[in-house]
Amino acid sequence: MYDITYNGSTGIEKGIRVVERPNVPDPKLRATEIEIPGRDGSLIESDDTYENIEISVKLNYMAEKELWMQSYRTIKKWLLSKGSGELIFSDDPDYFYKVKHVTVGENARTSTRIGVITPTFLCDPFNYLVSGKYEYGIPQVLHNPYYLSHPVYKITGEGVCEINVNGKSMTANVGQNLTIDTELMLTYREDGTMMNTAVAGDYMDLYLQEGENEITVTEGFEVKAIPNWRCL
């Protein structure tokens, strides 16, 4: 049976069913069209970034008429409680969408017991691999068969560590542990303490390019990477 999973819970677990498979739009490249007098056509200028996408999923649920509104409130709490999360479709279980915002929309009562809602999930333009959420040793992330990715680096050791990725580097003053998150462009310790001043360099220089990558780390430090593999 076709289903969705949002923030770790399936629709079936919440007592709802997917009415029909959703249409997933292609992300749009952010681009500016430039007209030049005397030139046929136009030029396209882009920074190679993409716009968010919206995915609407039609759902229905059934409840005893005296519990109908309570069922609706339970479903709405599931969809809105975190405001963001991960959306997975049962026919593509190895990938997920990063949800930034959810709107539930109208709650249509088609009978005394049946309700229909069509929540809209505002998502990051990319489709992420579930396997890209795990920690790997550096040799395991050197080959990136997907799109440009924004990894998280977890460093263990003491002193100044330099991470060099494809000829570009960032230095970090590490005290036992340090996490460099290139997606959020933040640096912090395992206990959540912000440590942005402990690093020098550009977070974008640590991105994993599509294809083969070269990564070196200062001797004496252990570095793990969460690659955040993603596709368009």
Give dist(CA 213, CA 53) in Å, integer. Answer: 29
Kindly give, in sequence order, each residue whose CB lies less than 8 Å from that of residue 176, ignoring residues fewer than 6 positions away: 156, 157, 158, 189
pLDDT digits 0-9 by tens, 184-231: 999 999 999 999 999 999 999 999 999 999 999 999 999 999 999 999
Contact 188, 194 (CB under 8 A): yes
The pTM of the whole model exceeds 0.85? yes
Give the closest residue to 162 by CA, choosing from 217, 100, 230.
217
Token pair, residue 222, equals 């252990």
- pLDDT tens string 86-121: 999 999 999 999 999 999 988 888 888 888 999 999
Q: Please tell me what DSSP assigns to residue 146.
A: S
Q: Is 81 left (phi over 0), alpha (psi -120 to 50) or beta?
A: alpha
The DSSP element (H or E) to which 76 belongs, if any, is: helix 68-80
Closest CA relative to residue 148, chosen from 161, 166, 162: 166
Residue 47 has pLDDT above 80, yes or no: no
Is-contact 181 229, C-beta < 8 A? Answer: no
Alpha carbon distance 139, 182 (integer Å): 19
Residue whose pair of structure tokens reads 């190895």 in the numeric block: 94
Range 17-29 average pLDDT: 91
Separation between Cα atoms, residue 135 and residue 181, nearest integer Å: 13
CA angle 110, 111, 112 (to 5 degrees): 140
Supply the Cα-derived Rg of the chain in whole angstroms.
22
For residue 192, give the amino acid letter: G
Task: Name residues whose C-beta falls within 8 Å of residue 66's C-beta, 6 or more positions apart in sequence.
Answer: none
Residue 198 corresponds to which tokens in the numbers above? 């402990």
